[in-house]
Structure 1
Amino acid sequence: MPASPGSVLVVAEELDATADLVVAALAERDVPVIRFDLADFPQQITLAATHDGHAAGWQGTLRATAGRSTRLEEVRAVYYRRPGLPRLSPAVAEEYRDWARAQALVGMVQVLSSLPVAWMHHPDLYRAAAHKPGQLAAAAAAGLSVPRTLITNSLPEARAWAETISGPLACKPVTAGAITLPHQRPTLLPTRRISTDDLDDTLELTCHLLQEWVETAYEVRLTVVGDTIFPVAIHAHSDAARADWRADYDALTYEPTSIPIPVAAAVRRLMAHYQLNYGAVDFGVTPDGRWRFYEINPAGQWQFIAAATGLPIAQAHAELLAGPTTARSHA
């Protein structure tokens, strides 16, 4: 059966608990949803999109083999959350597979991303906002307090800079990326507390990000959905969690907290700079109450925060996605 007008497209893996929460919250509002995984395109999904040379977006149909379909011009919003990559037919010769996969990926994603509707986790905006070097400069320009930082592959420069800090350092990945060791699952490198004496010539093998270490009373995960901000204090109860709370989730407790008005205003300026309507923003709060910015993840996880606190984060997603199609385009 075709979907009724005004469907929300949910583009996510089939087994995605976070996307499940958003779909359930949309169902509570009687908002029709078309959900699919990009991995099912082009074998199980048919796209037929036309452009007349004048319209702001594309027209046509998006149809799944299971019978679900929608008109592109009737889509009210798109929720795009880490779908798989297109799976190709075995009939595609090996020498053409990378090319064919790129055609499928760009064809589908760029047609959808040009629709003049509300987007969440827009892929173009995600790429622009996803990396720490740009984030730190943008956060400082927005008025947030940013730790002193060095990005380098020079050991002499790193040691000279570390001497100006006169204290412990944080060593962080410049960008997210998993490491796969033999016989182990892929893992992300956590933040490490180091000293100047720990710096050695392995630093020159690639680019490294060093920061002054921030002594904190607790940390904050700030989940931003549209104009709504959900600040949650994260209390760490192990050495690993105190260095990087992602390293030991079992040692964490959570509680909703308040956010200083100037910090909230600066976060909104940062979101506007990147044209985002979702972000997971991490802060450290010092014993004297100063909020220090660490990073913003434009598609960060929030399910664990909602489960621990009962905050209506899924409902905020649904409210934004169910809103009028005149919502800020591509945000």
Structure 2
Amino acid sequence: MPSLCNTPCGYVLVVAEELDPTADLVVQALNDRRVPVLRFDLARFPQHVTLAAEYDGRRLGWRGELVSGARTARLEEIRAVYYRRPGLPAVSDRIAEEHREWARAQALVGMVQVLSSLPVVWMHHPDVYRACAHKPGQLDIAAVSGLRVPRTIITNDLARARCWAATVGGPLITKPVTAGPLAPSDGMPSILPTRRVDAAELDESLELTAHMLQEWIPKAFEVRLTVVGERMFPVAIHARTTAALIDWRSDYDALEYEPVTIPDPVAGAVRRFMSAYRLNFGAFDFAVTPNGEWVFFECNPSGQWQFISAATGLPIAEAHATLLRGVHV
């Protein structure tokens, strides 16, 4: 039978939720290139997905099979893994309730660590994601890489926060130290947006947990920079409301998108940031000040880009497919 792909064949594993439109775009781009894909949600393992991995001690590497539905991929023939926010393993009700968390942990580590050991291209590797996912470390790496970052304090000390705010001498913003949804009283999870505050508003509630405060950065516009391998897709986000100007995620209907050019010094610093974390993908958020200076806010190592691609027509999915095929991008 003739080969289905122009480069050495092998499956790309797509490990993602079943209803994930971003993963759908990557799968379509791979299909367009006739690259074999085996897609499954980790939530279907171990009840509906089968793993049989052997290490015989005489030759290096795990060998065996991964079966999902009617499709089978041999571990030694996998060329890349695209791992994007899958669910957690759902174990059988036949397991006693007090043992289910233990069984779920066995399934999670068994699958993910076998896949992690394969010498293939990874995108959103769980270990890399965990290393890069938190804002305090990112700010330090960004500054070391040559990016400007906002003056920042993380504290639960009200007196110290007020003293720090006085040194800033202007408006502040507060944002969560780490991402994660809230569960309000109506049961619907929500994301806490960035909020602009003045020093006079700081009160004793700050002492209840760690809070992150930053100087307010005046913005001409913001930039969502999507990086896939060596390719960069910088897009300006223009906000038409006050809420969107503070945090564009709070009012998507008030946004306009425009591809822009990234300055060479910023691009070089972004590459150093990516190298420090061993990333081959990142969704970076910048403010661009009225005088044209780019200021780093954060990088999401598995951030959304579908809305950027849809609004601009930029070939971000195609860049994913090219990287996962093992072709230099």
Coarse TM-score class (shorter-chain normalised): over 0.9
Q: Equivalent residues in 2 for 1:255-270 (5 A)?
A: 255-270=258-273
Provide the residue aligned with 1:191 in structure 2. 194
2-structure distance, mates of 1:100, 1:170 = 43
Provide the residue aligned with 1:52 in structure 2. 56
Matched, 1:14 2:18: yes
Matched, 1:222 2:219: no
Provide the residue aligned with 2:151 in structure 1. 148
CA shift, 1:293, in A, is 0.3
1-structure distance, mates of 2:298, 2:266 = 14
CA shift, 1:292, in A, is 0.3
CA shift, 1:98, in A, is 0.5
Provide the residue aligned with 2:114 in structure 1. 111
- How does the TM-score come out when normalised to structure 2? 0.96
CA shift, 1:7, in A, is 0.6
Deviation digits for residues 2-51 of structure 1 (CA, Å, limit 9, x no counterpart): x9850100001111111110000001111000001101100011101112
2-structure distance, mates of 1:54, 1:129 = 36
8 Å CA contact retained: 1:130, 1:298: yes
Q: Could you list the runs of 5+ residues in structure 2 that have no partner in the other structure?
A: none
Provide the residue aligned with 2:309 in structure 1. 306
1-structure distance, mates of 2:59, 2:139 = 38
Provide the residue aligned with 1:26 in structure 2. 30
Q: Equivalent residues in 2 for 1:1-331 (5 A)?
A: 5-53=9-57, 55=59, 57-64=61-68, 66-323=69-326
- How does the TM-score come out when normalised to structure 1? 0.95
Instruction: Name the SS of the counterpart of 1:39 in structure 2.
Output: helix
CA shift, 1:177, in A, is 1.0
Instruction: Name the SS of the counterpart of 2:285 in structure 1.
Output: strand
Change in 2 beyond 3 A, CA 1:286/1:308:
same
Among the aligned pairs, what percent are the same residue? 66
Deviation digits for residues 271-301 of structure 1 (CA, Å, limit 9, x no counterpart): 0000000000000000000000000000000
RMSD of aligned Cα (Å): 1.4
Q: Could you list the runs of 5+ residues in structure 1 that have no partner in the other structure?
A: none
CA shift, 1:105, in A, is 0.5
CA shift, 1:183, in A, is 1.2
Change in 2 beyond 3 A, CA 1:191/1:71:
same
Deviation digits for residues 174-212 of structure 1 (CA, Å, limit 9, x no counterpart): 000111111141011100000100100000000011000
Count of aligned pairs: 323
Change in 2 beyond 3 A, CA 1:267/1:56:
farther
8 Å CA contact retained: 1:282, 1:295: yes
